[in-house]
Amino acid sequence: MAQGQEAGPLAARFIGQKNKDYLYFQAVYGILAAHFLIMGLVYLMNPESALEPFYWLGVTLGGREYPVAEHSHVWRVLAGTNVLTLGFLCVFLQLDVKRHWPAIYPLVFMKGATALAFMGVRLFAVSYPAFWAVAVRDAAICGLFVYFGGLGKKAAEEDESVLVPRPLGYRAE
């Protein structure tokens, strides 16, 4: 066992680690990565199942039936691969947040641009209430990226030797 690392099952060491900020970073980014990777595959393979919650949300928020047909393979591929990229960037940051920190910029840009685009569609193109909800959700996810990513980076800058899991680029001195 490496210096500064306690023995025991990985899950117990992860949950019991001294640096809770790193735990929170890993947990939040892990949940987001899983969400994006799964949804990216769903968008590619079964887009209707991904759109159903959006339609339901619109009706629940007082809208009528969704007024636009969404059947483009081009946009389906673009949406799916963009969401997969978000998942990849989350995992990339989890592997070594300190050394991979520049990846936060495209991550926040992609999700922030999506939030603004959904708001723009709602304001200027399609009066459907789900666009507001998705814009707010995506803006909140940007906040999660920045806040919890910052916690993880700060923790890694303090003392990488106590982090579970250790960053990919960590080398004991």
- Token pair 């840009």 is at which residue? 109
Give pLDDT tens digits for 42-91. Answer: 999 998 888 899 999 999 999 999 988 888 889 899 999 999 999 999 99
Q: Look at residue 4 and tell me whether its pLDDT is greater than 60.
A: no
Q: Look at residue 114 and tell me whether its pLDDT is greater than 80.
A: yes
Q: Above pLDDT 90, what percent of the chain?
A: 77
pLDDT band at 7 (very low <50, low <70, confident <90, very high): low
Higher pLDDT, 71 or 20: 20
pLDDT band at 5 (very low <50, low <70, confident <90, very high): low
pLDDT for the residue 78: 94
Whole-prediction pTM value?
0.90
Give pLDDT tens digits for 86-111. Answer: 999 999 999 999 999 999 999 999 99
Those residues with Cβ within 8 angstroms of residue 53's Cβ, 6 or more apart along the chain or in another chain: none
pLDDT for the residue 1: 45
Residue ranges with strand state E in the chain: none
* Mean pLDDT of the region 115-139: 97
Number of CB atoms found within 10 A of residue 128's CB: 22
pLDDT for the residue 106: 98
Give pLDDT tens digits for 31-45. Answer: 999 999 999 999 999
- Rounded-to-integer distance, Cα 58 and Cα 132, Å: 9
